[in-house]
Amino acid sequence: MKCGFYVKKADMHCMECAEKFFSFFSQRKVCCYYVENSVSDDTDFLLVFGGDGTMLRACSLIMGKKVPILGINFGRLGFLTELTSEANPEVVFQRLSSGDYNLENRSTIKINYNTAFYTALNDVVISRSDNINVVKVLVSNGKDTIQNFYGDGIIFSTPTGSTAYTLSAGGPIISPNLEAVAITPICPHTTSRYSILVPTDVKLFVTVEVRGKGNVAVDGKNLTPFETKMDFEISKGDGCLSFVKMDGQSFYSKLVKKLSCQG
């Protein structure tokens, strides 16, 4: 078995926990290595120590790779992580090595921006950047208009990202096993504020007009700003990411627990 370790190095507790896991796994003849900028294709599992932000950064390294990811939470909410910071290395090792776990596939979306494709596990956000003027947003499926408004921007979210920025913007929470994309306006200048769910196999065509500069963020990472007007395409991502599940907690029970501030 070969395991990669991706760690939030700025957090001392993350580092201490990761070192404990690394040592325990290595003593049991597991090939272990710390991940910096890339994940080896022959990695059996990627263990991530940190919060949801750390998970997103780790996921960006395994896009297109068939490497299951297991998160140990050191953040506040931990929607993407599976285990708590109190996880026992021996128990985790035994379950991984014996196959005593499930895999939950998470869909992705991709954006065509400046002739390049970028893939998101959570969301793609297009918004105003360096000015106070609203932007004009038009979204269609190539035939019918889906959204047409002035506002601060727009969010395209996967089910995984529905508990992130989309939720704060008034969008729906989507079960991870659904194949859908949520289209949610950010502070629209209209009396009717709504999100729309569309199937993931629908290609979306987006035109954004802005006075000054506009911003594009993929899973929170800003791309090069654009000026005046830009056309985008949003479509289903290639493949999916596999999350290791072993705590037996359902999406709904985790949702209630996290959003009611019970832990």
Task: Place 262 in a pLDDT band, splitting at 50, 70 and 90.
Answer: very low
pLDDT tens digits for range 81-115: 999 999 999 999 999 999 999 999 999 999 999 88
Instruction: Please tell me which residue in 11, 52, 123, 219 is annotated as part of the active site.
Output: 52
Active site residue 52: yes
Residue 191: predicted pLDDT: 74
Name the residue with higher pLDDT: 256 or 228. 228
pLDDT tens digits for range 163-221: 999 999 999 999 998 999 999 999 998 877 789 999 999 999 999 999 889 999 999 99
Residue 77, pLDDT > 90, answer: no
Mean pLDDT of 225-234: 94
pLDDT tens digits for range 235-257: 999 989 999 999 777 888 878 87
Distant-in-sequence, close-in-space partners of 11: CB < 8 Å, separation ≥ 6: 50, 74
Mean pLDDT of 37-54: 95
Residue 30, pLDDT > 80, answer: yes
Residue 4, pLDDT > 80, answer: yes
Name the residue with higher pLDDT: 93 or 262. 93
Task: Place 263 in a pLDDT band, splitting at 50, 70 and 90.
Answer: very low
Q: Which of 207, 242, 234, 202 is nearest to 119 (CA)?
A: 234
d(CA 156, CA 171): 10
Q: What percent of the chain has pLDDT over 70?
A: 99
Lowest average pLDDT, out of 29-33, 126-130, 252-256, goes to 252-256
Q: What is the mean pLDDT of the chain?
A: 92
Residue 193: predicted pLDDT: 77
Residue 247: predicted pLDDT: 74
Tokens of 84: 């708590």
Residue 261: predicted pLDDT: 54
Mean pLDDT of 116-143: 92
d(CA 198, CA 141): 10
